Structure 1
Amino acid sequence: MQRDSFIFYRSFYEGIKELPRDIQGEVLTAIMEYSLNGETTENLKPVAKAIFTLVKPQIDSNNQRFENGKKGGRPTKKKTEQKPNDNQTKTKPIPNVNDNVYVNVNDNVDDDVLIDVDELKKKYIKNEKLVNAFCDNNGISKNELFDGLEKFTKNLKDKNRFLEKEKEYVTYFKNWFVKKEKSSAKKESKTAAQAFKERIYGSSTN
């Protein structure tokens, strides 16, 4: 193997600069012969041989990289798209399935302000987006909603709750309405079951 050039590191120079000139010459000649021609210099003096022995692994490493470069370097690995195995599933965005989400009452509402409940009822009725959302989510008409608001507001005043925060009023009404509807459905179911039982077995007599 022959080369036209090689790398001479500062560490090589630092290692031999304090040596006598004749030893420096032996080391430099040995380095050049091995780096350029691949030949090892024989009969080196002990100190020169020791220095060359320390330098030789670095020269070998450089020569190996040189040979690899002549062959085109390391072959590049083909990138393969990793496919999920049978036990993996692709993450999909989870849709919002909360049917009780309502539009904001008023972005400018001050949550710390207490308002008369009758005034809150009027503001609720005038909020078309809120009304439509509530009716759609609960499957009721606007008249049924307005009737519910009337009863709910009266219920608050019966409990001496004449002032409420606007957003809390909306939340309290939603919870009150859902609870009332569940109670009503339970009563209707019980009544229907009783009527069915009477039709089958007849009404009880004393």
Structure 2
Amino acid sequence: MSIRVLLVDDQPLVRAGLRVLIADTPDLVVVGEAGNGTDAVRLARDAAPEVVLMDLRMPGTDGIAATRAITAQGGPARVLVLTTFDDDEHVHAALRAGASGFLVKDMAVDEILAAVRVVAAGDALIAPAVTRRLIAEFARRPAPAAARRGLDGVTDREREVLTLVGRGLSNAEIAAELVISAATAKSHVARLFTKLGARDRVHLVIAAYDAGLVTPSS
């Protein structure tokens, strides 16, 4: 079945372009469009999309507030931010609001469509340039409490998985790298969430850096 996508952007031309791209993609289908955050929240509830492609700067209710409201609804919709504004303030605000991914509009079309599939599958994805900045920033900060506890109780295989998460790989990519099933990779990530007290995938990236498994240069 096709992945149901809701397009949210205050520029009709941007929505039209995305709609055309998705129309040419057999496994994706647009189920609604919104030009502001208020309509986005309503359509996320009524149209039951699996992925919401969300702009940030819009009149009225902006993308951050809309993301927070959509994720609070508890429905199937996962928010994938697609914006021209990739400064740290917007990245942090979007992730805190519950976004499952953060992309910039100058990325290749194939990368954007692939990201929709990744997020629909339950993974999180952040543009590589943004991930590098996040890691570099955390490198300058004191280690959080979760990191100070170290990796006690984490198995060797889970450590491998954590390293790959820190490098920005999705569950499917981790499975391919380690030659395991996607379900096994997902189980390892789930156990890491529990063992490290991580709220989301970004926190696992932080833990991987603080444990020395990845560095800003990697």
What's the TM-score once normalised by structure 2's chain length? 0.20
Which structure's residues are more often helix, by fraction?
1
| Higher radius of gyration, 1 or 2 | 1
